[in-house]
Amino acid sequence: MTNHSITPSPNNPRVELINQASLQPFTTFGVSSTCDHLYRIDEIEELRLATQYLEDPLILGGGSNILPMGNITRNVLRVELKGIERVEETDEYALVKIAAGEVWHNVVLWAIDQDLAGIENLSLIPGTTGAAPIQNIGAYGIELSSVFHSLEALELGSGQQKDFLTEDCRFGYRDSIFKNDLRGRMVITSVTLKLSKQHNVHTSYGAIQQTLEEWNIKDPGIRDVSKAVIHIRQSKLPDPAQLGNAGSFFKNPVISASAFEDLKKQYPEIPGYPAGNEVKVPAGWLIETVGWKGKRVGNVGSYAKQALVLVNFGEAKGEDVWAFAQEIIGSVEQKFAIRLVPEVNIWS
């Protein structure tokens, strides 16, 4: 492996380059995969050069939502920009600008230390801040879009900065314009959130309220909620450092109310949650019901405590994980006529 710096030119932007790099240390799935060229960038001007001169790069942050398969021949650009600052403030809120390379959970902890509310329910979500708007990350009844203010991004090809407000991002359930019309066209450099100085905690989703009651906390603050979320996630989800995974592998499918009622007649126990005029069905329940929870094939399996999480038990390849996922998709579709869609990005 060669590791060296290169100087600016139309073909060689000034970034750290690793040739024939293993992607295993840079992705939480830990699958065996390589890329021809990995560029690590921690300065905005270097990133601007890279967006101008690198042809069709893949963007890598914390690697927590990526399944690489085989050798990646495209350039891989890892964004490592750092920094958090308050850019505007009133008695009610603070606008906080966060560089794309900041680890998301560290941002949550920083906000709590600053007594700023709004993202405590999003504790322990893996990945970097730059990836958060792309996925419109969410957990325990809160989505990033509920606190989002704006973001800055660089356009691939031109290096031109573009600013996006909430309405520009077209946020949806685990979705945004960056996964659709602008997929592969922008590199997010910073995200600005509107965080509240007036705490209105959300404890009704999942087991948060139950956990707080078990701890005999009757008037929880944002730090209490964060600790409860961390406790719940750690009890249900594997630590990627111990067992390779990318969190929830599939999206929870959203189906029409009429389709859900038809399924309810066949499967009275099927859970569902209102999603506008539609119904969100837990993918984990579907996977467990067709018998894949805790099942293992070679070095890949469905986690015993949460069927929605696929895990790497050893030296699995991306192709092994994808083949396992396809089997699950087929089983669920055959039984429920619902086709699961991966939440994880597939690189090949």
| 343 flagged as catalytic | yes
Cβ neighbourhood burial of 261 (10 Å; 0-12, 13-18, 19+): exposed
Name the strand (E) or helix (H) holding 99. Answer: strand 93-99
- Residue 214 makes CB contacts below 8 A (sequence gap 6+) with none
**C-alpha distances in angstroms, 60 versus 34, 215, 271?**
13, 39, 35
Name the strand (E) or helix (H) holding 258. Answer: helix 257-266
| 146 flagged as catalytic | no
Distance of CA 16 to the CA centre of its chain: 25
Structure tokens belonging to residue 255:
């189906």
Residue 39's identity, in one-letter code, is Y
**Block residue for tokens 């965080």:** 195
| 46 flagged as catalytic | no
* CA angle 191–136–340, rounded 5-degree value: 155
Q: Which of 124, 123, 118, 122 is nearest to 136 (CA)?
A: 122
- Active-site pick, 16, 288, 333, 343: 343
Q: Which of 320, 273, 257, 107 is nearest to 195 (CA)?
A: 107
- Active-site pick, 32, 33, 248, 302: 248
Residue 135 has phi, psi (to 5 degrees) of -90, -10
The whole-angstrom separation of Cα 46 and Cα 38 is: 14
Residue 214's identity, in one-letter code, is E
- Active-site pick, 40, 48, 78, 174: 174
Structure tokens belonging to residue 9:
């030119």
Count of other CB atoms within 10 angstroms of residue 73: 10
Q: Which of 61, 58, 83 is nearest to 192 (CA)?
A: 83
Count of other CB atoms within 10 angstroms of residue 103: 16
Residues with catalytic roles: 174, 248, 343
